[in-house]
Amino acid sequence: MKVGIDIEEVERFIKYIKNKIYLQRLFAKEEISYVMSSNQCKTIERLATYFSAKEAVWKAINSSYKTLLISDIVIKHDKNGKPKVYVKNQYCKNIDISLSHTKKYVVAVAIAF
């Protein structure tokens, strides 16, 4: 079992929200669409949360891949809203993630088993 954790300051992501190049380099189309589907405050929190989730997953599984980019990791939600991890377009049923946020901080934990 491997664990990855990441914490981010939400405010840091304000400057990235309108940077299409940054968004497209790090996030999948589905992630960008989900992030942008809410009001400005929630959008920034969601962007930070997705980034934190990707970082946590990367930390938990990076040693399993020769080259793994943050953009290779995609976070999707099932019909109940539970986040699911996809790596290189493959659903990873052996990775669980937990996400949380406040107005100032987001945190993500990934467990690969």
Domain map (residue ranges) of the chain: 2-112
Q: What is the pLDDT of residues 27-68, one digit of tens each?
A: 999 999 988 887 777 899 999 999 999 999 999 998 777 789
Q: Which strands sit side by side in the sheet containing 90-91, from one edge to the other?
A: 73-77, 83-87, 90-91
Average pLDDT taken over every residue of the chain: 93
Q: Evaluate whether 27 touches 82 at the Cβ level (below 8 Å).
A: no
Q: What is the Cα–Cα distance from 51 to 108, expressed in whole angstroms?
A: 9
Q: Would you state the CATH architecture of domain 2-112?
A: Alpha-Beta Complex (3.90)
Inform me whether the pLDDT recorded for 4 exceeds 90.
yes
Give the per-residue pLDDT at 62. 84
Q: What is the Cα–Cα distance from 80 to 94, expressed in whole angstroms?
A: 19
**What mean pLDDT do residues 76-100 have?**
96
**What mean pLDDT do residues 86-102 have?**
96
Inform me whether the pLDDT recorded for 86 exceeds 90.
yes
